[in-house]
Structure 1
Amino acid sequence: MYDHDGIHESIVAVLTVNGKPRQVLIHPGRTGYVYVLDRTTGQVLSATPLGHITTNTGVDLKMGSLQPVKGMETGFDKTVRGICPASPGSKDWSPSAFNPETGMRYIPSDNLCQDAQGDEANYIATRRMSA
């Protein structure tokens, strides 16, 4: 709905989760969350907010899906204000990094919000120009 696709890098790491080492995938998403998934099972272990988020209340860890805020849906002839994160997302172009020695993640992020209004696209057929 907000163009928050998951096209950016994921970081492969070994993290200690509940006292045990786990093969994980760390994915800072445009949705505003940093997801940590078990690489062998695909289980979503955590989804931690990266910035200010108004479009959902969290992530259902069992399903891995966002929990949307009612009334923040965009649509025709409707203006929605305070959509956070904005269309570029909380994480965009700049790559992330992970230091296995310190366990630190380095994630460049944007803390942007936007207003959006859906309008019907207008189309005007092209006309041939006479010579």
Structure 2
Amino acid sequence: MEFSAKLKKLMKRQRYSQTDVAAQVEVSQSLVSLWTKGERVPDLRVSAKLASLFGVDLDYLADDAQDEPPASEFTGWEQAVIDLIHALGLEKSEALRRLATPAAAGISVDPKPVPPAGPSIPPGAPAYQPDAPRKKQPG
């Protein structure tokens, strides 16, 4: 698969417009348009930025024989965190700092967890037993 097809595929997968990609790799939107049409290819420096932006190896972008990037070593939620970091435009060191310090990310940590909302059960009420015979209600 040629570079232009890979770029379009990655942009669609990440829901990036040409303008989004251009801003992230610091080029013009018209240049990204030329890449997606197959009329130009980015230089090595910009290709490395694109690989980082989309979370793929530079080898994948450069090798026309590879139709899909190699399988990720990350689980689904780990990849989701990585994608979020890319979407927020954070540098690796800043993302790690924020993940390690909840307060830095604007997350307050309450020492007393709040129980989930639901019906309140009065103290001393019998525990629910799904297989227990039910009493007939007078009626």
TM score, norm. by length of structure 1: 0.30
Q: Taking CA–CA contacts closer than 8 Å with sequence separation of 6 or more, which of the two structures ends up with the larger relative contact order? A: 1
**Structure with the higher helix share, 1 or 2:** 2
Structure (1 or 2) with the larger CA radius of gyration? 2
TM score, norm. by length of structure 2: 0.29
**Structure with the higher strand share, 1 or 2:** 1
